[in-house]
Copies of this chain bind each other. A is one copy, B any other.
Amino acid sequence: MFNIQEIDADRLEMAANMLKAIAHPVRIAILKHLEGGKKLTVTEIHELLGIEQSTTSHHLGILKDKGVLCSRREGKNTYYYLKHDILSQIVDCLQRCTCEE
Show the binding face of A for B, using Cβ within 8 Å.
Answer: 4, 7, 9, 11-16, 18-20, 22-25, 27-29, 32-33, 67, 84, 86-87, 89-91, 93-98, 101
Cβ A28 vs Cβ B15 within 8 A: yes
What separation, in Å, do the CA atoms of A97 and B16 have in the docked complex?
A: 12
4 tightest CB-CB pairs across the interface, nearest first? A19-B23, A12-B25, A20-B23, A14-B98
What separation, in Å, do the CA atoms of A24 and B91 have in the docked complex?
A: 17
Number of copies: 2
Cβ B97 vs Cβ A18 within 8 A: yes
What separation, in Å, do the CA atoms of A47 and B101 have in the docked complex?
A: 33
Cβ A18 vs Cβ B86 within 8 A: no
